[in-house]
Structure 1
Amino acid sequence: MQIFLISLLMVSILSLLYSIGEILSFSRNKFSWMLSIALVSIFIMSLHAYLLFTGIMLEFPFLLGWYIPFNLLIGPFFSRYAAQRLKLPFLTKLFPHVIPAIISILGLILFHLDGSLYVKENILATMKSPTASREFPYLGFLNLHFLVYVFISGRKILSSIGYRKGIEEKYSRIMLFILIMASMVSLFSLIGFLFRSIVFLEVSIFLLIMILIGIYFLRIREPEFFGELEKIVRKGRYSKSRLKDHDLKNIQSELEQLMENDKIYCEEDISLKSLATELGLSQHQLSEFFNDFLKINFVSFINRYRIREAKKLLLEERETTVLAIAYQVGFNSKSAFNSSFQKEVGCSPSEFRNKN
């Protein structure tokens, strides 16, 4: 038990120091805050366990269980960080993945409103026999949440690189090893909770310490790790690209001509398929061109041109109604026009016209 407590303390200290380092490096890497939140979550989770098993939690019963929301943040924030650093299109919207943490916060508020006596009894029971509480096995399922995100991240990264390249390339092998280690932490922890085994929990904590130390030395020895891995991902995606036999600059030039000269965006019924036909591409090829090369989706791209033209007409044709201009630039309703204009410009078409 003593080794377990020392291990928890080590994880707390390492994750806290590492998260502080990420916060300090924010100016060099704008995604550091995501990794920092994940590391702070590990710090809170391990510190909570230390306080609980040593009995210190009796002095602060209101802290019981508050590691759960942070536990549910680790997977989403680690995965989002990897996706952003490697420029991979998954977990593009973070909020839906934070909902379980928000729900757990509401549940904990209700739990603590139920009275502090039950809370203290729970702490005392844990001190006498850490694995005896009836809630203990159920807490193990929190590890499945993290395991799902490890699986999603690993699958996306490897499918982008290519499974064969993933084994051959040095940096992808390192990433694969980290993901396997993270999976083992979750699995051993899950087994430890389900079978009420401190031994398995000790192993999971030991592996987590190894991961934190390993990542620390990796950042020192390979400061460009994510940069090199991103190059491998980019090469892997290009090798599978539907556009590898096309001149991307030429496609962009033809697209600009259709937009600037022909004003094809003013056609109300323009679609990805019809635009692809104009460019001599398939629908999938054009979609890939927008998402991977221009970093924008089709609808946003078309609406950006429509709004730019609408801004010009609102100032040049002041006698023309807003609705007429909306139809003129390709929108099929005033509400769709207002919504897109507000999103792009920050005010309604009428407000824009009045201000200028």
Structure 2
Amino acid sequence: MIAAFSGGTLIFYAYRLYVGFEFETPVLNHGYVPIIFLIPGSMQYTIEQFLSLEPIPLGGLKRLYPTFFVILLLLFLEWKFPHLLLQSMNQSFAGAPFSIPEMISAIGCVYWVGTFVWMIYQYRMILYRNPNKEAKLGVQVLGMILKGNITFASFIFFSTYFRWHTGIYFTAGLATLMAVVAFIGTEINHELFKDILPGLRQSYRTSRILNLDLEKLQKDLDYYLKVECIYREEDLNLASLSEKLGIKDYQLSEYINAYLGINFNRLINECRISEVCRLLEEEPKANLLSLAYQVGFNSKANFNLAFKAFKKVSPSEYAKSVGRG
């Protein structure tokens, strides 16, 4: 709703410029200034609501603090230096020097662009290195929203700087679109996006590992699996391995799922079965159950089930084939 309100307010101020209407109270003529600071935080909050599987706490609205600061600043200027707010938008676009509110709005546009450039960087794993093909349409929509906001803020900045009326009206049209999309997204519970949200949300979960050095993580994982052979530990689990790697268990799980294409249990069982096969090639008549316990399996049933899942034959059948070979 905040994003929809912001877009609607910018439309109103663009219309004021078009018809030449001015308020008698000077500070009201510059109501668009805090809105420029409001949009980045509100859109960021709205996008996180779209992507997250869990409710975003209201603490996330701390991004709106710059808006409150600008409102207080304008009220202070109205109280102490009202002459600084007397210049109207029409006077500005008629060639008057840049006013204090215009300078503040320019800073707001830079803040706006910076926020969404940061979000593109923050979601770069989703946008540019996304292994989830089902999220393709959702990724395109997300990219359009992020880049659209950068375009929107840039148009406001340059239209104000060059006194370009058409640019302001164009941004008003974009604001209309933004307001409609924001209203649809918040009022009808994402119905428009119900087909693209699941894949996009999964990609968002995966993106929580984007702050990790993935190359180092893979090297460390290879070390523990191929050198230390940590899979031989019978009680090995996701939490204990992630602790050794120095990351959270959900990060390790998401890395294995997204970049290795399997889950944790399958990865460990694959390592165990590979070693059993290697040992059988060295000694085809070795005791299968002893080998199973040696590589980390805790029961014969689990060993047989895992072995057949990987090799499509039972351990005994595999041992016989190796012996014949």
TM bucket (normalised to shorter chain) is 0.5 to 0.7
User: Using a 3 Å threshold, how does the CA distance of structure 1 residues 191 and 239 change in structure 2: closer, same or farther?
Assistant: closer
Which residue does 1:284 correspond to in 2? 247
Which residue does 1:85 correspond to in 2? 50
2:106 equivalent to 1:143? no
| 2:70 pairs with one of 84, 98, 104 | 104
2:191 equivalent to 1:223? yes
User: Using a 3 Å threshold, how does the CA distance of structure 1 residues 239 and 186 change in structure 2: closer, same or farther?
Assistant: closer
2:90 equivalent to 1:126? yes
Alignment map for 1:99-248 (pairs within 5 Å): 99-114=65-80, 119=85, 121-123=86-88, 126-127=90-91, 129-135=93-99, 138=103, 139-160=105-126, 162-163=128-129, 169-212=136-179, 223-225=191-193, 228-235=196-203, 237-238=205-206
Deviating above 6 A after TM superposition, structure 1's stretches of 4 or more consecutive aligned residues are 214-220, 239-244, 289-292
Question: 1:127 and 1:189 mapped to 2: Cα distance?
Answer: 17
**1:231-283 deviations in Å (ceiling 9; x for gaps):** 33415754996899xxxxxxxxx89xxxxxxxxxxxxxxxxxxx955986532
Which residue does 2:29 correspond to in 1? 64
User: Which amino acid in 2 is paired with 1:111?
Assistant: L
Check whether the contact 2:242–2:248 (CA below 8 A) recurs between aligned residues. Answer: no
User: Using a 3 Å threshold, how does the CA distance of structure 1 residues 116 and 49 change in structure 2: closer, same or farther?
Assistant: farther
**1:271-303 deviations in Å (ceiling 9; x for gaps):** xxxx955986532043637999xxxxxxxxxxx
Which residue does 1:22 correspond to in 2? none
Check whether the contact 2:7–2:178 (CA below 8 A) recurs between aligned residues. Answer: no
Check whether the contact 1:53–1:130 (CA below 8 A) recurs between aligned residues. Answer: no
Give the TM-score of the pair, scaled to structure 1: 0.50
Q: How many residues align?
A: 227
Deviation at 1:86, TM superposition (A): 0.8
RMSD: 4.5
**1:169-213 deviations in Å (ceiling 9; x for gaps):** 122212222322222111122111222222332333333334555
SS of the equivalent of 1:153 reads helix
SS of the equivalent of 2:30 reads coil
Question: 2:253 and 2:48 mapped to 1: Cα distance?
Answer: 18
User: Using a 3 Å threshold, how does the CA distance of structure 1 residues 291 and 159 change in structure 2: closer, same or farther?
Assistant: closer
Question: 1:217 and 1:106 mapped to 2: Cα distance?
Answer: 31
| 1:94 pairs with one of 60, 66, 70 | 60
Give the TM-score of the pair, scaled to structure 2: 0.54
**1:136-165 deviations in Å (ceiling 9; x for gaps):** 762333222222222233333342364355
Which one scores higher on RCO, CA 8 angstroms, separation ≥ 6? 2
**Percent of pairs identical after alignment?**
16
User: Using a 3 Å threshold, how does the CA distance of structure 1 residues 131 and 239 change in structure 2: closer, same or farther?
Assistant: closer
Which residue does 1:47 correspond to in 2? 12
SS of the equivalent of 2:22 reads helix
